[in-house]
Structure 1
Amino acid sequence: MHRRLALKGSAASAGLIAACLLAQPARAQTSQPASLDEVVVTGSRIAGGDRLAPVDVIDRQTFAAAGVSDASQLVRLLTANSGSEAQVDQLNQPQSSGTAQFNLRNLGLGSTLVLIDGQRWTNSAVVATDGSAFVDINSLVPMIALERIEAVKDGASAVYGSDAVAGVVNFITRKA
């Protein structure tokens, strides 16, 4: 059943909204809500969600097989990483000696967003020799508490902001 309304002005729009709301059929809540499994969605507000960025997942078994003993050695497991300053070098890197960071696609030390369980992490107190700020991955999570790392190897600044121009590395900790 359709109703035709002829109203004018702001009262017309208010009346039209009220009429539309009242004209809706009542819906009884007789059906039981369906049970849902846990759904984890990583998404964006950009149309065309079918275009996914490439993601590398490196798990505990890969850490063990590669002989990784500390976080500074994780940088060599990501193929998209290049240009990290992860060695102890007192002569060439006096400010950032003993730190490690990701430098995805060689776009700069501060261009990769580092997350721990999906939460942003703060920059290191020291800066690199070129003055750029970065997240020191040596001070984040002990290797025994790390389950896996997930790296978005493409620019993700539209989703995460300007911290993620080169990509995103997410440290996932063990739950049990």
Structure 2
Amino acid sequence: MVVAFRKYGSIKNIRMSTTDAVMVENLTDDALPRSSADILYVLEKPELNVKVLTKYPLKDKKRSFNYLWHIISIAIFYSIPVVQLVITYQRMVNSTGDEDLCYFNFLCAHPLFGFNDFNHIFSNVGYLFMGILFLTVTTHRQAVVPFRYEVGIPVHYGLFYAMGVALIIEGLLSACYHICPSQSNYQF
């Protein structure tokens, strides 16, 4: 995952070939009509497609990776108090023996590795697996499928990476909730 972020996750790492730059320059003139005559000129072109009608395609491509970095920074600063609170609650349950601190269903709880309810923690592995699979598919698609300037809507891979990371973070924070489910950490 770190390799994918280093390769595709930075605005500085998005490079264009000279033909792509020329094509973007041609599209930039068409994508920025300034008057109604310019708009009519763009609409009357014989080769009208969605790419011509989108504004700033390269700028949007660069900006789409901001979603990824926002999700990562939110996840880091949201996870720090979550992990601290959950570890504190689990230590209190283990040291005092007060199992009423956490809402466990003891009929289906399977303790393992020092956790009172490991099966509910392990049930979130699907989120992690699907998030990693989503990131893998997105990386593969970005590397293998060529971008065609003639047709289609511009692809924003940064948004897809952010969705995959959000799915992984959802699985991790849900697992943290299941370590010691209570009213105060229900927000996770």
Query: One fold, TM greater than 0.5?
Result: no
Q: Give the TM-score taking structure 2 as reference length.
A: 0.23
Structure with the larger RCO, 1 or 2 (CA within 8 Å, 6+ apart) = 2
Q: Which is strand-richer, 1 or 2?
A: 1
Which structure would you say has the larger Rg? Answer: 1
What TM-score, normalized by structure 1, do the two folds share?
Answer: 0.24
